Structure 1
Amino acid sequence: MLFEVWAPQAQDRVALWLEGTEQEMERDPAREGWWSAEAEAGDGARYGFRLDGGPLLPDPRSRRQPDGPDGTSAVVAPDAYVWRNDGRQGRDLAGAVLYELHLGTYTPEGTLDAAAGRLGELADLGITHVELMPLCPFPGTHGWGYDGVAPWAVHEPYGGPEALKRFVDTAHGLGLSVVLDVVHNHLGPSGNHLPAFGPYLTDTHHTPWGSAINLDAPGSDEVRAYLIGSALAWLRDYRVDGLRLDAVHALADTRALTFLEELSAAVDAFAADVRRPLFLIAESDLCDPRTTTPREEGGLGLHAQWNDDFHHALHTALTGESQGYYADFARAPLAALAKTLGHVFFHDGTYSTFRGRTHGRPVDLVRTPAHRFLGYAQTHDQIGNRALGDRLSASLSPGLLACAAALVLTGPSTPMLFMGEEWGARTPWQFFTEHTDPELAEAVRQGRRREFALSGWAPQDIPDPQDPATRDRSCLDRSERTREPHARLLAWHRELIALRHREPDLLDPDLASVRVAFDEDARWLVFRRGDVRVVVNLGKEPASIPLGGGGTRVARVLASWDAASPPGEDGVLDVAGESCVVLGDG
């Protein structure tokens, strides 16, 4: 087989180490900085590279790291796995319901195979897409995965590459699509050997994680090709249906043709070749609709983006929190929630006190389909980046959790749940690591304590990321599913998801048709999508809520959480405190 490596940093020689023997590699005269060698190697054979007689290094394009990021690489035979669900056509994001899942805490085992065994629960719930947090290798066994350093490989403790193929195959057999979270904006500090090979990082820009990924400095053509090749490998080799791109606002890129445009063009071309829908979902805090505007219309061409503004508005309306970036939303939380339901971004050219400047750009409601934006009440970030990793269920009543579900699952955006949210899981989801470098482990521990000391937290109250108990506490407790109030919340989520799939008006992509009314003081909100109205009372006291034009035609209760009787002839609906109802016109 052919072994290749881009190693422009090598001065005189590059050697291939394969199962204890070494052979010289030859420069490729047609591709500057590339070296290659032919050698016989079967599935699982260990190999690596030496540059100018230096230490043995893993392959930057390694598909498998059996001993972690610092170990030797292993050959993965491309056709060794026999796919069972070979003819599946997949589905795009229109009409989707996503479920964000962390492999290491979804089950006690923390493996792909264990998670695959639970996928039937998600199919039964009505989930259409499972979004996996990053799977690339990182130090130790347990972590969030955002400090991965081998973006072509699968974390071995999760099961490695074959286990991911089994997971995707199982998901496809159940009618579930798979989205994988990938990180292009930084590389972890431990086990990162890429700088030894070439200019993968640049000091031209700096990020919160240090030197930036080289997307626009000398050598960036090959770095871009490296990342795009990795993205396409997930879609091709593992048959993943889409990618979530972490923090694209942190990509430092001054080139005329941006990396994101180049990546979206490559994914679209591959989707056309294989004749199945493939997509890219951006995490971005720019509030810029051009992120998902098609390239031919002057945008970056990504297919969807997370909408943190909706989350922040909903969170403040539910909890009353006003610290940090919640401050702008907390001044009038129902108004903020109404704006994000009808206009997507709260900051669409408005002043952000958190940033100290004007922020965002309006969405063209006529030309932009609603499914390009993901709406959610909870995510790994919004839970795990809290001091104690506490979920909404730690402080909210079952009624308010039911209201949050109604707003997410019947709203115009593509809905997404975080694992366990569907039953109001009480287990926290905390920040945990397993760094093998003692100095790095202590730096992470102290950094976490300093961060929350600014908000008044005592160091001893912050969970130690390196303590195995922190990860263990974060594992889901499935026994909750059969106990109240969790069982009722699970049934409520199932009912709402089925309603979303069943009612055409809830799948309408027309943002311009969304109508919202609210009362800030009484804490109720009503929004209408076609013939469907969603009525939510976040206040503790019962409320008489006017439904607006055509209220007397409302005859069908489509779903109800302790709401009340149908509306009277005056078009007013009496709704109990902390409850909600979904109505259909007669």
Structure 2
Amino acid sequence: MNNKPLPGVRFNNDNEAEIAVWAPDAKKAAVIVNDQASLDLSRSDFGYWTLTTGKLQPGHRYQFKLDDKQPLPDPASLSQPDGVHGSSMAIDTRDFEWTDNQWQNPPLDDYIIYELHTGTFSSDGTFEGITKKLDHLKQLGITAIEIMPVAQFPGGRNWGYDGVFTYAVQNTYGGAEGLAKLVDACHQQGIAVILDVVYNHFGPEGNYFGSYGPYFTGKYHTPWGDALNFDDAWCDEVRRYFIENVLMWFRDFHIDALRLDAVHAIKDFSPKHILKEIKENVDALMAQTGRKHHLIIEFDLNDPLYIDPIQKRGYGMDAQWIDEFHHALRVTAGEKREGYYSDFEGIVQLAKSYNDAYVYDGIYSPGRLKTFGAKANDNPGNQFIVFSQNHDHVGNRMLGERSSQLFSFEMQKLMAGAVMVSPFIPMLFMGEEWAETNPFLYFVSHTEPELVEAVRKGRKAEFASFHAEGEAPDPQATETFEQSKLQWEILEKDGYKQMLALYKALISLRKQLPALATLNRKNLKTTVNEADKTLLLERWTDTQSICCLMNFSDEEQPVNLPENKQWEVALNSADTQWNGPGPAASGLVRSQSIIIYKNTNV
């Protein structure tokens, strides 16, 4: 960026600590090293306090003391070994050992994403636990894992969206070194790493930012209180705090892509939106290092401005999650039309999402009582990420039910196929590939009793009109967390192993068939029979065509394929090898199944 000091503690070529903390209102500042030495900091420009010293070394604990008040951890700490209330620990990221010099981040077109939560993915609940399962992911055909947030949060049980140290890697997962080792191991397996980051709020416990400076503004209200200060007085340094965090993940941790949580909750009316400024800085980093990085957003405003390139006056984000495909698919499969599903009618809107990405793209939304969205006709397929389930839509059900608990075995296979044949980037949620039956529940491990009770009440209120039957599991209970762990021991059992085999076949087919692998939204056609609940999806390249016939009804339906080509079945989800009932009679497609046809006359 510029010559301002980097927030936190960094080590120079003389192995001295370069210390900087932003505290514009402080009259004096000091750093406390190992609870003993107190070293005064010097006031610098733009509200920073700085010091270069050899008295703070990697492994040392430290805190900042402002105006002789209670010492506090560093807001840009790289390590919190004693949790969110403890001292920070200095780390030299140059000490990480890398073996990935030959690694090249794949283009987004080649991403097949696997979202996972570190604490529940393995019995260990650590980065090392993920590393031990990379062979499974490689054999499945995954090309990128997406790790739910790892910024330090209270205790050891949390989804990660309560993080309060944006730069520090969760100590119970393995800390900064553990994350670096995981990334290196993934690259050795040919797997990219996406890290989920939260730039729209900080968690409530251990949030000391207000003690340092105006990180928040009262100009806007968010679900978490005052908004982060991206456009009010002193916002330059708040913006810089997050921009430097993005660059750190890419530069120091070799992360391949970031998934930015709920960017619609970022309040910024600056002439240059914070996302655009992030993109410009990432572009500059890539030009400097020669490494490719992607910026992916979670976003529900259906506005292509966010993913349009900067050259078209957009914010330049590379891709976005698209919940509307998920909602339309789930309602088509039989999901109750309540909560955020109430605005979706099923198969016609699923076809619209295949064609247009956004369902609501400038049309009236009954749920919102207004016209909503804009068309994304010029945005390629690799800018949209689709899924049949993810952490939000599983975990934000009161009982955390996965698809395996809500839909038949055959419908689960159909939904998997519907995602894999789309002209978009597919994403799986951990365990989906074998129809995991354990739920993914909402869990926390706060240490403040009043906060714990507030979380409990909040969860109960959330389900007042959505999944309202029964009682929500206690988010604070250890059992809630343990119940959410994957059951790796069931993979070889009947049903689970056939589902896993089907997922492997679908992913392999997507990679092998050019008409599926090429994410061209223009070469696509859908034909819907709403009465029969069937959808025919056609995709093609210059050398190949495919037809995907999806039957979401409970009855066999006739097959009506284009007659100008000779068609061969590439995959039928009803086959007995996938634990299905077997193909229907000639000219028919089984209920709740998908048949993928490829042409043979090229």
The one-letter code matched in structure 2 to 1:184 is Y
**Counterpart of 2:459?**
448
Does the Cα contact within 8 Å between 1:24 and 1:37 map onto a contact in 2? no
In 2, Cα distance between the equivalents of 1:90 and 1:457?
44
Structure 1 residue corresponding to 2:341, chosen from 318, 326, 333:
326
In 1, Cα distance between the equivalents of 2:17 and 2:68?
21
Asked whether 1:579 is paired with 2:593, we answer yes
SS of residue in 2 equivalent to 1:518:
strand
Tell me the alpha carbon deviations over residues 219-245 of structure 1, each in whole angstroms, 9 at most, x when there is no partner: 110001100101111111110000000
Asked whether 1:60 is paired with 2:75, we answer yes
Call closer, same or farther: CA 1:21–1:34 in 2, change over 3 Å.
closer
Does the Cα contact within 8 Å between 2:306 and 2:316 map onto a contact in 1? yes
Question: Which stretch has the larger CA shift, 175-184 or 89-98?
Answer: 89-98
Does the Cα contact within 8 Å between 1:10 and 1:52 map onto a contact in 2? no
- 1:492-503 to 2 correspondence within 5 Å? 492-503=502-513
Tell me the alpha carbon deviations over residues 484-536 of structure 1, each in whole angstroms, 9 at most, x when there is no partner: 21111100000010111111111223212210012112111110111011111
**Counterpart of 2:6?**
none
**Counterpart of 1:506?**
516
Tell me the alpha carbon deviations over residues 25-69 of structure 1, each in whole angstroms, 9 at most, x when there is no partner: 1112x4443333423233211011100001111111111010111
**Counterpart of 1:463?**
473
Asked whether 1:424 is paired with 2:435, we answer yes
Question: Which stretch has the larger CA shift, 249-258 or 502-511?
Answer: 502-511
The one-letter code matched in structure 2 to 1:104 is G
- 1:298-377 to 2 correspondence within 5 Å? 298-330=313-345, 333-364=346-377, 367-377=378-388
Tell me the alpha carbon deviations over residues 190-220 of structure 1, each in whole angstroms, 9 at most, x when there is no partner: 1011111111111111100101010000111
How far has the Cα of 1:478 moved from its partner? 1.1
**Counterpart of 1:537?**
551
The one-letter code matched in structure 2 to 1:454 is S
Does the Cα contact within 8 Å between 1:105 and 1:474 map onto a contact in 2? yes
Does the Cα contact within 8 Å between 2:21 and 2:74 map onto a contact in 1? no
Does the Cα contact within 8 Å between 1:214 and 1:220 map onto a contact in 2? yes
Tell me the alpha carbon deviations over residues 278-307 of structure 1, each in whole angstroms, 9 at most, x when there is no partner: 000000001112211100011110000000
SS of residue in 1 equivalent to 2:93:
coil
- 1:69-88 to 2 correspondence within 5 Å? 69-88=84-103
The one-letter code matched in structure 2 to 1:490 is L
**Counterpart of 1:413?**
424
**Counterpart of 1:21?**
37
The one-letter code matched in structure 1 to 2:569 is V
How far has the Cα of 1:547 moved from its partner? 1.5
Does the Cα contact within 8 Å between 1:342 and 1:514 map onto a contact in 2? yes
Pairwise CA RMSD of aligned residues? 1.5
In 2, Cα distance between the equivalents of 1:567 and 1:178?
44
How far has the Cα of 1:73 moved from its partner? 0.6
Call closer, same or farther: CA 1:355–1:436 in 2, change over 3 Å.
same
In 1, Cα distance between the equivalents of 2:527 and 2:466?
35
Runs of at least 5 residues in structure 1 that lack an aligned partner in the other structure: none
Asked whether 1:478 is paired with 2:488, we answer yes
Structure 2 residue corresponding to 1:286, chosen from 280, 294, 301:
301
**Counterpart of 2:9?**
none
In 2, Cα distance between the equivalents of 1:349 and 1:12?
52
**Counterpart of 2:398?**
387
Does the Cα contact within 8 Å between 1:61 and 1:151 map onto a contact in 2? yes
- 1:161-310 to 2 correspondence within 5 Å? 161-310=176-325
In 2, Cα distance between the equivalents of 1:548 and 1:437?
63
Question: Which stretch has the larger CA shift, 188-197 or 321-330?
Answer: 321-330
How far has the Cα of 1:482 moved from its partner? 1.0
How far has the Cα of 1:549 moved from its partner? 4.6
Does the Cα contact within 8 Å between 1:70 and 1:191 map onto a contact in 2? yes
TM-score normalised to structure 1 length: 0.95
**Counterpart of 2:572?**
560
In 1, Cα distance between the equivalents of 2:104 and 2:361?
37
In 2, Cα distance between the equivalents of 1:185 and 1:53?
31
**Counterpart of 1:123?**
138
Count of residues paired in the alignment: 574
Does the Cα contact within 8 Å between 1:16 and 1:37 map onto a contact in 2? no
How far has the Cα of 1:381 moved from its partner? 0.3
Tell me the alpha carbon deviations over residues 355-397 of structure 1, each in whole angstroms, 9 at most, x when there is no partner: 2211110112xx3210110010001000000110001110211
In 1, Cα distance between the equivalents of 2:502 and 2:519?
24
Structure 2 residue corresponding to 1:439, chosen from 431, 450, 460:
450
**Counterpart of 1:45?**
60
SS of residue in 2 equivalent to 1:339:
helix
Call closer, same or farther: CA 1:36–1:534 in 2, change over 3 Å.
same
TM-score normalised to structure 2 length: 0.93
How far has the Cα of 1:455 moved from its partner? 4.0
How far has the Cα of 1:86 moved from its partner? 2.5
SS of residue in 1 equivalent to 2:502:
helix
The one-letter code matched in structure 2 to 1:402 is K
How far has the Cα of 1:456 moved from its partner? 7.0
Asked whether 1:521 is paired with 2:537, we answer no
Does the Cα contact within 8 Å between 2:22 and 2:47 map onto a contact in 1? no
Percentage identity across aligned positions? 36
In 2, Cα distance between the equivalents of 1:158 and 1:273?
31
The one-letter code matched in structure 2 to 1:538 is F
In 2, Cα distance between the equivalents of 1:518 and 1:441?
48
Does the Cα contact within 8 Å between 2:159 and 2:442 map onto a contact in 1? yes
Structure 2 residue corresponding to 1:6, chosen from 8, 21, 30:
21
The one-letter code matched in structure 2 to 1:338 is A
How far has the Cα of 1:96 moved from its partner? 1.3
**Counterpart of 1:92?**
107
Call closer, same or farther: CA 1:488–1:565 in 2, change over 3 Å.
closer
Does the Cα contact within 8 Å between 1:5 and 1:59 map onto a contact in 2? no
Runs ≥4 in structure 1, deviation > 4 angstroms? 563-568
Tell me the alpha carbon deviations over residues 323-353 of structure 1, each in whole angstroms, 9 at most, x when there is no partner: 02212212xx110100001110100011112
In 1, Cα distance between the equivalents of 2:206 and 2:550?
49
The one-letter code matched in structure 1 to 2:409 is P
In 2, Cα distance between the equivalents of 1:519 and 1:469?
46
In 1, Cα distance between the equivalents of 2:352 and 2:320?
18
The one-letter code matched in structure 2 to 1:547 is L
SS of residue in 2 equivalent to 1:276:
coil
Runs of at least 5 residues in structure 2 that lack an aligned partner in the other structure: 1-15, 576-581
SS of residue in 1 equivalent to 2:522:
helix
The one-letter code matched in structure 2 to 1:352 is S
How far has the Cα of 1:10 moved from its partner? 4.1
Call closer, same or farther: CA 1:295–1:392 in 2, change over 3 Å.
same
How far has the Cα of 1:149 moved from its partner? 0.6
Question: Which stretch has the larger CA shift, 307-316 or 69-78?
Answer: 69-78
Question: Which stretch has the larger CA shift, 314-323 or 44-53?
Answer: 314-323
How far has the Cα of 1:276 moved from its partner? 2.0
Call closer, same or farther: CA 1:548–1:387 in 2, change over 3 Å.
same
Does the Cα contact within 8 Å between 2:140 and 2:504 map onto a contact in 1? yes
In 1, Cα distance between the equivalents of 2:478 and 2:199?
28
How far has the Cα of 1:177 moved from its partner? 0.2
SS of residue in 1 equivalent to 2:463:
helix
